[in-house]
Structures are given as C-alpha cells and as structure tokens.
Amino acid sequence: MNYDGMDQDFGPSCSMGSCDGSSPKFTAGVLPNPLIDDIKSLEPKKGVLIPLKTTQEVRQDHTIVYAYITRAPTKSANEVISALRDMRPDGSANPLPHLRRCAKPADLPAHLKTEFMNDTPEGRQIHTAKSNWIYIIVSEVTDITRDELAQTLSAIDGLDNDIFIKTIPIPLLAPTSQIQAAMWSSQFWPTVYRKNNPLGPHPSMVARGTDEIKDDAAIWMTLAQRVANEARDRGIGEAIGAVVVQRDENGAQLVAVAGDARWHQDPQLGDVGNPMAHCVLRAISMVAQKLVRHERHGMELDLELPTLEFDAFHDGPILGAEKACFTQEHPNKDGYLCHGLELYMTHEPCVACSMAILHARMGKVVFCNHMPRTGGLSSDDRPDGGGRGLGLFWRRELNWSLLAWELEQDKTFDLATLGPTTHV
C-alpha cells in the first residue's frame, strides 16, 4: 500500500476513467453481505440523484461581457475574417469559440433582427429579402478599439463607407448543456454546445457515474441510515452515518460503515462534540486500518491497537454494524487509501470532513440531507447572508476532485433532521 504522495498534485480526478468517456462501465450488481442482504429484499426506497454544481457553474456561467459584431456581403466574408485574424496577436480565427463566428440574418435572435432591420433602409433590405449578407462576431470590446476595427474593415473591397459595427452583450463562458446553448442563442448570439463542461466534470463522466450508482444508491443509504440511528440510540453521537463502497467489474462491495461518535466517552463537550469523531473520519480510518491489517498479516504480524483511556478519534468499531463490517477483509488491498471508492452519507459532510474525503482520494460521494450552513461539498449560496458554499468536491485550486450527488429522497428514508448549524 502506497502512502506516499499525499501532497502530490494529481490534477482533477478522472477516477472513473478518462474524461472523454472511454473507460469501461461497471454494470455488475451488489455483492452479498450480511449487513445489506435483508435491505436488498425489502421494497426498494426511491430517490433522485442530483449532481452537485461546481463553484464556477453556480457563480460564473452568467457572466456577460460586450463584443463587436459587423456584417459583410457573403462573397467578402472570408476576407473580413482574415483581416480580423490578422488584428489579433495570436492570429486566432475566433476568440470566442463557444459562439458561432458567422450568422445569417435569419439566425440572429429576434431582438437583434428587429433592431438591425429598423436601423437603416439597407438593414430592411438585408432582413426582408433573400440575403447575400452575413453577420460576423469580432471580439470582446476590450481586445481592440472601435476605431481600429473601422480602419481595418474600411480597407476591404465590397464594404460600404458606412461600416457596420455594433456592440452586443454575450456570455463570456461556454454553455454547459444543450438547453443552455439554445437559451443563449435566443437571447444573445448563436451559441455552440460542444458536449463538454469548462466549469466542472465532463457531462459524460457525470452521466456514466449516475448510471453506475443509481440502481443501488438507496441500498447503501439505507445502511447509512441504520448505523446513524444506532449511533443516536446508543447516545454516542448524532443520527449521522457513512458507508464506504468499492465498485469494480465484479460488482459493488461494502468496505466500511461508521456512525457519528462525537459524544462517545465524554458527553460534556458542549454543543459541538468531538469533531475528530465525525462518521466520515471514522469510516476513512477504518478503511486505513483494514489495509494496514492486510499488510501486517502478509508479514505474519498482528494488528495490535493500543488501549487508550481516552481515544480522541474513536476510530475503532463501536456499534454492531461497525464491528461486523470491520471484521471483513478489504476487497482491494492495492492503491492509496480510498482511491476511487464511493461514500454514502445521510447528511452533507462539513468542511473538515470534505477535505478529509479529498485527501483520502475518494471517487464519488452521495449524501441525502443538504447542510446549507455547514456543508463543505455544495456550491450553492447559503441562506440568511451566510455566503457562498465552498464546492470542495470540484475546485481547480485543489489537487483532487471527485463526483458528488445529492440523493433527493422520498418519505421512506425518514432521515433525522439536524440543526442548521450542526457540523456533520
């Protein structure tokens, strides 16, 4: 087991395979395990997996800037485009690749058609007859001056002395869906959707990941709910639970299960409890202990855990489900800690636990109850002036990223509702 590289810059994770969607799809079912066999036989609980949006998707997909456009006879379009290319230091043909370089008069948004048609008699002719003219987007207005553009266009044969230059608002960033591209085409300028997402995980990654987990996500969430209730009933923590799963070509297999233990051994910790005993940290530690146990068994050594009067981390199994799962061997003894594994949680993890998830190199996270004030994975604006979410599951400045969903549950889940300031 390799523990080196905790601080290595792995770049954005494609733990499900390459970002172009070329990795194999895992379609095998859930492998037998006494902790979930009865859950599989029950009437399945239902829920809808909602992919989380990244901070950029939430905050920047509506950034609007201004751009110049011009128009030219179709026969002069290539000459105009060449002249515009020569104006740019890098010689790029289209500085705004998510917008169509050229647009026929009929393809413009309705409000631009109306404006240009009523602007001049020439405009009415262009828009009311079979047109031999074409509109061309130039660049952002900050890239060149209007006078520079007019001087360049006036040197092209076939353009009138009264050079057509208009300024229009445009979306700065590329659309993240076909629906958004269609909306922008009707509001701003003909827009291209290239089936990618410059603001977050590739759509094919999200779709493939959703397909992989959608049939059994409710099973793992039900187990997380059970251990959460057990933690609450035993008085060791809040009603919060976590389940770690490995998924490969053989199927989905349980790796670890943990309940919250923030009140264990010391109920006098105030309203916060012991943050080191959150269920996520306990589950990750149990995965690590299984891996260490396997290594030591390979060297014919026992795994002897120290007996402490007070264990700050409470990372040994306490609850019945935890003990049963902890005795089972880890299904995969290779790789770094939780690399590519799946985490199912009853509630959204706090910032500290979210960072632990990233450092453990988890591949996917699913939670049920969104924690708008304390959650670390979501990017949504927090209520009552609480600021914006951190969206830690996918940030460019971090050296790991993963896929995350909120499981929008039906009433059969019946999860505990925590106080808004509770850290999970």
Please check the confidence at residue 354 and state whether its pLDDT lies above 70.
yes
- For residues 20 and 234, give the distance between their C-alpha atoms in angstroms, rounded to a whole number: 47
Reduce the secondary structure of the chain to three states and give it as a string: CCCCCCCCCCCCCCCCCCCCCCCCCCCCCECCCCCCHHHHHCCCCCEEEEECCCHHHHHCCCCEEEEEEEEEEHHHHHHHHHHHHHHCCCCCCCCCCCECCEECHHHCCHHHHHHHHCCCHHHHHHHHCCCCEEEEEEEECCCCCHHHHHHHHHCCCCCCCCCCEEEEEEECCCCCCHHHHHHHHHHCCCECCCCCCCCCCCHHHHHHHHHHHCCCHHHHHHHHHHHHHHHHHHCCCCCCEEEEEEEECCEEEEEEEEECCCCCCCCCCCCCCCHHHCHHHHHHHHHHHHHHHHHHHHCCCCCCCCCCCCCCCCCCCCCHHHHHHHCCCCCCCCCCCCCCCEEEEEECCEHHHHHHHHHCCCCEEEEEECCCCCECCCCCECCCCCCECCCCCCCCCCCCCCEEEEEEECCCCCCCCCCCCCCC
pLDDT band at 172 (very low <50, low <70, confident <90, very high): confident
pLDDT above 90 coverage of the chain, percent = 49
Q: What local confidence, expressed as pLDDT, does residue 92 receive?
A: 59
Please check the confidence at residue 362 and state whether its pLDDT lies above 90.
yes
Q: What local confidence, expressed as pLDDT, does residue 11 receive?
A: 40
Q: What local confidence, expressed as pLDDT, does residue 99 receive?
A: 93
- Return the closest-CA partner of residue 239 out of 377, 422, 373, 407: 422
Q: What local confidence, expressed as pLDDT, does residue 40 receive?
A: 86
Q: What local confidence, expressed as pLDDT, does residue 333 receive?
A: 74
pLDDT band at 309 (very low <50, low <70, confident <90, very high): low
Mean pLDDT, range 62-90, rounded to an integer: 87
The least confident of 98-102, 298-302, 354-358 is 298-302
Q: What local confidence, expressed as pLDDT, does residue 173 receive?
A: 83
Q: What local confidence, expressed as pLDDT, does residue 13 receive?
A: 46
Q: What local confidence, expressed as pLDDT, does residue 93 receive?
A: 61
- Per the prediction, the chain carries an average pLDDT of 85
Residue predicted with more confidence, 280 or 196: 280
Q: What local confidence, expressed as pLDDT, does residue 46 receive?
A: 76
Mean pLDDT, range 46-72, rounded to an integer: 85
pLDDT band at 19 (very low <50, low <70, confident <90, very high): very low
- Return the closest-CA partner of residue 166 out of 181, 150, 151: 150
pLDDT tens by residue, 222-276: 999 999 999 999 999 999 999 999 999 899 999 999 999 999 887 566 677 889 9
Please check the confidence at residue 80 and state whether its pLDDT lies above 50.
yes
